[in-house]
Structure formats: structure tokens, C-alpha cells
Amino acid sequence: MTYQGRQRRRLTATVTDLDVEVQKAFLVGVVLGGDSTDAAQRSLDELALLTDTAGSDPVDAELLKRDRPDPARFIGKGQAEELAAITKALDIDVVVFDNDLTPVQQRNLAKIFHCDVVDRIAVILDIFAQHATSNEGMLQVELALLRYHLPRLRGKGAELSRQGFGLGGIGSRGPGETRLETDRRRIYSRVTRLEKEIKNLSNSRNTQRKARRSSHTPLVALVGYTNAGKSTLLNQITDAEVLTEDRLFSTLGSTVRKAHLPSGEDILLSDTVGFVRRLPHMLIEAFRSTLEEINDATLMLHVVDSSDPGAESQITAVREVLLEIGAAQIDEQIVFNKTDLADPVALARLKRVYPDAVFLSALTGDGIDGLGDTITKRLADQYQEVKLSIPYDRADLVAAIHREGAVISADHGEDGTVVRARIHPAELNRFSEFVV
């Protein structure tokens, strides 16, 4: 099978500034034991997109089968030799495995193929490295890259250079040649420094988060697979001008904007990093502070590309990441986007399977009003209106309800302050004895 790359560009700026040929990549997926071949094929197709987004040309791909990974090469000796013949014939620069490789497997395979060998994680890290623009994003990516490369460094600068580090291409971008050639100790101290800097940035963001919480405006978070149309939807609903692009991982930071619902209510709408199948753990760790903002949300709008045949497996992948960042318990509203592109039969099926989902096109605006009404309803479901009579010696509780709920009225009664407020059921416990 041959993949047509959507975008071609030069990978490295050379001293002579001549055009450099685009790195030719050969993709390998391995179906293990009883794993599904379909899922592996879809994942391999997506790897082609990822490789293309990273700037290399995925010229061909092969799906192999094995009972279990070989510790030394991941694949069998015969399989490796067959592939070596193909990669030689096609003049391949890099072999990209969809499965995660250990540093040893990576090195051994590179020797057999006589070219670079990387895995899916390296490709995703590479995309993040190219796309990060904010200060925090760049620090987070550098941290993830160092953590990825550390076990792959054997303290041999020469070997690294020969493998192509610093020459451009997947698996080579990032912290830079000189830094990679320094000893592990320096890298470790860099990792510690980065962790500290990221923590400082996340502290200052926490201050903003607190301010946001006390504003009582409900936070609605856009979450979903990369390229599902989250930023387009944010732009459509608010006046934000977030970059939207037909490629993976356009958004690597987070944006929060105020939006006005048709019901008259204001909400805060946030847009953040998109997810992908098997998002590398070290990236989730590095981006944890950015992703954790999702945890503040009262409601998540889980945006799904309805025109993608793998839409449902994207939903599963997104939910896995949500679980990992501790956001799985937040109320989730599925929003099927790109209905203008989707096949009517597939759309009808999704409507049957997900009767509560909202269907819309963020691009044409079709169905957007319905989304506003659904948000209003979902938020109202979550808040309960209560009337409390709080004794005058419990001023702390009056302060607390102002902080945690939306106070509708507060009057001085005979026995205490009578407060009518809308409050999240989870917060209700501490006030329960004063409910009237």
C-alpha cells in the first residue's frame, strides 16, 4: 500500500541551503497473539498520518503477525531479514514501528536495516517538538523528549551522531546534539530543572484557575481526538481565534474563552491538546499540568469526528486518556462534529447508538444552537437549588457557599442567614444540616 503524504516540506535547513530530500519512511505494525487485525490496521493507517505530519514520507507499510515480541528484535529473525531486503530496495531512511520498542530492540533493528529505527512514541514526540510554540509547551516537550531519550543514550556521543541525531528527521529533533552528547548527569539535572520550571508555571496557572472557580461561571471543557474540530468549535461559539488546521496536534496549549448561551447564561469554554491512540505516557506526564485543567470542568464536550470510520475507537482512546488524568468522572456530552462530511448511513447509525449525542458541523454552524440548549440542560441537571438557614455564628459557611455555589439571594432571618443558592450535589454534604 502506498500513502500519499499531504504535506511535503524540507526537514532540515542545511548549511548550503540546498533542498534536502524528504526522509523516506517504511512503516511496520505487528499484530500480537489474539489482537485484532482491524484495529492494528487502523492504527497503522493513523501512523502513516502521524509520520506525514512529522514531515517524513510514509512510502509503504507492512502488517506482520507474531505470537509475542522477540526481546532482541521485537520481530523474528526471518521477518527482520525480509524487511531489510525491502527497505534496501526502496532506499528507506527510517523504519517506523507502530509498536513500542525497547532501546535494545531499536538498536538491533537499526543494525539489520542499516537505517534509523523509531517507534510510534518517537513520531508523536517529534510532532509535539515541532508544534510547541508556547514557553510552557516547549518546556513540556523538552522534558518528554529527554525522558524518552535517556534510556536510549549509552553515553556515546559518536554513536548518537552516526544514528542521525542532530541531522534532522524523526527521533532526532529536540534537545539538540550538544546537549544529547553531554553526560547523563547533566541531562538528569536538566530534567530536574525543567520539572521545577514547569511546576512554577503550573503554580501561576493554578492562581488563574482559582480566580476562575470563584467567578461561578461554569467551565465547559472541549476534549477529544486530535483533528476532531475542537478549536473550530471554540472559534464558532466564541470570538476566539485559535489556530485550526487539517493536521494532527494543531493545539498544544490551552485557551479559555467566555461564551454566551442562548438561555442567557455565561459559560467558560476551554480548548486544549487533542488526544491520540496510545498517547505516550511521558507526554501525558509532561503535559499533566495543561491537561489537568480539564478536571476543573463541570461538563466535558467530547468532540468526535463523525466522518471518520474509526470514530468509535477514537472515543475509546479519548476515554482512556481521560481516565489517566483523573477526569473520567466528569459529566461528558458526546458531540459528533463534521456532519457535513460524514456518510449519511454512518451518521444514521451513530444517531441510533448514541441517542443523547449532539450532531453538528462546527464548520457550517449547522446544529450549533442545539448544542447551546444541551449545555444549558446538562449544567442545570448538575446544580441543585437549595435553601439554607445558616446560624449567625457560622459565617464561615456563608462564605463557603458564596465560594462554591451560585448565590441567588441572602437575607438576614431570625435564626441566621437565609441563603438560596445553586450548588453542585458533591458540595452539598457540608451544608446538609442547614437545608430548610
Return residues touching ligand GTP (CB under 6 A): 224, 226-232, 244-246, 248-251, 274, 337-338, 340-341, 361-363
Q: Of the candidates 374, 355, 361, 235, which has an alpha carbon nearest to the alpha carbon of residue 306?
A: 361
The option from Mg ion, ligand GTP, none interacting with 334 (CB < 5 to 8 A, set by class) reads none
Q: Provide, rounded to whole angstroms, the least separation between the CB of residue 231 and ligand GTP.
A: 3
Q: Residue 353: what are its φ and ψ, rounded to 5°? A: -75, -30
Segment 247 to 276, residues that bind Mg ion, using CB under 5 A: 250-251
The option from ligand GTP, Mg ion, none interacting with 325 (CB < 5 to 8 A, set by class) reads none
Q: Choose the binding region for Mg ion from 45-53, 245-253, 321-329, 394-402 (rule: CB under 5 A).
A: 245-253
The correct pick among 99, 231, 270, 307 for binding Mg ion (CB under 5 A) is 231
**Residue that has been written with the C-alpha cell 500519499 in this structure:** 4
Segment 122 to 161, residues that bind Mg ion, using CB under 5 A: none
- Distance (Å, whole) CA 1 – CA 198: 43
Residue 227 sits in the site that holds Mg ion (CB under 5 A) = no
The option from ligand GTP, Mg ion, none interacting with 361 (CB < 5 to 8 A, set by class) reads ligand GTP
> Residue 294 in contact with residue 223, Cβ under 8 Å?
yes
Total residues binding Mg ion (CB under 5 A): 3
Give Cα 10 to chain centroid, integer Å. Answer: 26
Q: Between 73 and 277, whose beta carbon lies closer to ligand GTP?
A: 277
> Residue 162 in contact with residue 115, Cβ under 8 Å?
no
The option from Mg ion, ligand GTP, none interacting with 140 (CB < 5 to 8 A, set by class) reads none
- Distance (Å, whole) CA 93 – CA 68: 27
- Distance (Å, whole) CA 191 – CA 51: 27
Q: Provide, rounded to whole angstroms, the least separation between the CB of residue 242 and ligand GTP.
A: 7
Q: Where are the beta strands (DSSP E) in 199-324?
A: 219-224, 255-260, 266-271, 299-305
Q: Provide, rounded to whole angstroms, the least separation between the CB of residue 113 and Mg ion.
A: 35
Q: Between 31 and 327, whose beta carbon lies closer to ligand GTP?
A: 327
- Distance (Å, whole) CA 354 – CA 193: 46
**Residue that has been written with the C-alpha cell 487533542 in this structure:** 274
Q: Provide, rounded to whole angstroms, the least separation between the CB of residue 329 and Mg ion.
A: 24
The option from Mg ion, ligand GTP, none interacting with 246 (CB < 5 to 8 A, set by class) reads ligand GTP
Pairing of strands 384-391, 416-423: antiparallel
